[in-house]
């Protein structure tokens, strides 16, 4: 299978190459794609070297599938051109997520929506992906009424510039800034741009994408998204109100049975998910599972995943795997 990775030189694009190799996706020919300034650079994949080409050159090479992680503007410009050429696009930007004509897919949650007609498929926001993987089995069992989510998000979600800012500050050096404030020894309750309602775009993504992926607009979601000085993964505190009551052991069993989910929940031996343990892993980790004693039918839990893996690259590759399994690419 001919596979293009658009944005192959970026943080997520590099991770996509790692995941394609690690999961033994059947790549017969890799087409690394980036902007004009990266054209001709060499990318190594499974011991072979491939030269970076531009998006227009990649279309002419007719890949079977293109994994996009080059930002919304690139996706808006080039994803339709790839699709018109018969190439299936899996896009990691926010460009197509809320387009009613495009599917927004987390394979463990709503992979059944994919069809042969889908030529541009949207990969959800990283913080939404890990949350809905954990919510799905609980919604099926108890029916979710409302979710209150607070996130603790890694600097890797912003990109290389943010990682460099954190490490420069830690080393006491001046350098290029990704954030308006110091991130080392600080938290910034501001991810993406502020909207008229006082929420940030990141918070609204979590709200709107959850309803679309879960195929249930009755689920009420409110979010506060926060950047913290860590690398390795995003963490989330979830407070979930259900229509029906639950047993905590049944909750743990439902989560443990969910594909792509690992329960790490043993407070007696100080076992709970942390970003350093999720780093480089494809699963979503859930712990601190306990009843909210302030109101009925309500659960608290803590959810962690590597935002560059399951939150971006792995989910995109899993969508490609599902398309291949269904004979759609």
pLDDT of residue 318: 98
In a 13 Å sphere around the CA of 214, the CA atoms on its Cβ side amount to 30
Strand, helix or coil for residue 304:
strand
pLDDT score of 308: 95
Which domains occur in the chain, in start order? 2-123+312-326 (3.40.50.720), 127-154+187-305 (3.30.360.10)
Q: Which residues are annotated as a binding site?
A: 9-12, 37-38, 97, 153, 227, 307
For residue 111, the model assigns a pLDDT of 97
Question: For residue 91, what is the enclosing H or E element?
Answer: strand 88-91
pLDDT value, residue 89: 98
Backbone phi, then psi, for 198, in 5-degree steps?
90, -15
**Marked catalytic residue, from 126, 139, 261, 279:** 126
Mean pLDDT by 10 residues, the chain (329 residues): 96 95 96 93 94 96 96 95 97 96 98 96 98 98 98 96 97 96 98 98 98 98 98 97 98 98 98 97 98 98 97 97 95
Query: For residue 153, what are the β-bridge partners?
Result: 227
Query: 126 an active-site residue?
Result: yes
Q: What gap in Å lies between CA 237 and CA 301, rounded to an integer?
A: 6
Q: Which residue among 139, 234, 261, 279 is the active-site one?
A: 234
Binding residue numbers for NADP(+)? 9-12, 37-38, 307
The token pair at 166 is 């954190």
Work out whether the CA dihedral 205, 297, 286, 253 comes out positive or negative.
negative
Q: Binding-site residues for phosphate, please? A: 97
Say how far apart CA 224 and CA 89 lie, in whole Å.
Answer: 31
Contacts 24+ apart (CB under 8 A), 176-181: 179/227
Q: How many alpha carbons fall within 13 Å on the CB side of residue 109?
A: 29
**Beta-strand relationship, 48-51 and 42-45:** antiparallel
| CB burial of residue 310 (10 Å; 0-12, 13-18, 19+) | buried
Residues 164-217 have pLDDT tens digits of 999 999 999 999 999 999 999 999 999 999 999 999 999 999 999 999 999 999
Number of helices and strands in the chain (H, E): 10, 14
């Amino acid at each position: 299978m001919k596979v293009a990775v658009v944005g192959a030189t970026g943080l997520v694009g590099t991770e996509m190459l790692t995941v394609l190799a690690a999961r033994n996706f059947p790549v017969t020919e890799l087409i690394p794609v980036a902007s004009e300034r990266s054209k001709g650079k060499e990318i190594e994949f499974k011991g072979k070297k491939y030269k970076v080409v531009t998006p227009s050159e990649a279309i002419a090479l007719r890949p079977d599938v293109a994994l996009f992680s080059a930002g919304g503007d690139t996706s808006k410009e080039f994803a339709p051109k790839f699709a018109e050429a018969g190439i299936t696009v899996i896009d990691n930007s926010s460009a197509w997520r809320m387009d009613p004509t495009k599917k927004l897919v987390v394979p463990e949650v709503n992979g059944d929506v994919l069809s042969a007609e889908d030529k541009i498929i949207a990969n959800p926001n990283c913080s939404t992906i890990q949350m809905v993987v954990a919510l799905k089995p609980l919604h099926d069992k108890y029916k979710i009424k409302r979710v209150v989510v607070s996130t603790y998000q890694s600097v890797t979600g912003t990109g290389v510039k943010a990682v460099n800012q954190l490490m420069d500050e830690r080393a006491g050096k001046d350098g290029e800034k990704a954030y308006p404030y110091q991130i080392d020894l600080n938290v910034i309750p501001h991810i993406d741009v502020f909207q008229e309602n006082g929420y940030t775009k990141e918070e609204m993504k979590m709200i709107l994408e959850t309803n679309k992926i879960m195929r249930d607009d009755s689920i009420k979601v409110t979010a506060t998204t926060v950047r913290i000085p860590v690398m390795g993964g995003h963490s989330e505190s979830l407070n979930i109100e259900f229509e029906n009551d639950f047993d905590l052991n049944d909750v743990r069993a439902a989560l443990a049975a969910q594909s792509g989910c690992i329960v790490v929940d043993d407070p007696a031996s100080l076992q709970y998910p942390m970003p350093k343990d999720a780093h480089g892993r494809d699963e979503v980790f859930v712990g601190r599972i306990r009843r909210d004693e302030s109101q009925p039918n309500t659960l608290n839990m803590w959810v962690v995943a590597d935002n560059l893996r399951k939150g971006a690259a792995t989910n995109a590759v899993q969508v490609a795997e599902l398309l291949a399994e269904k004979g759609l690419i």
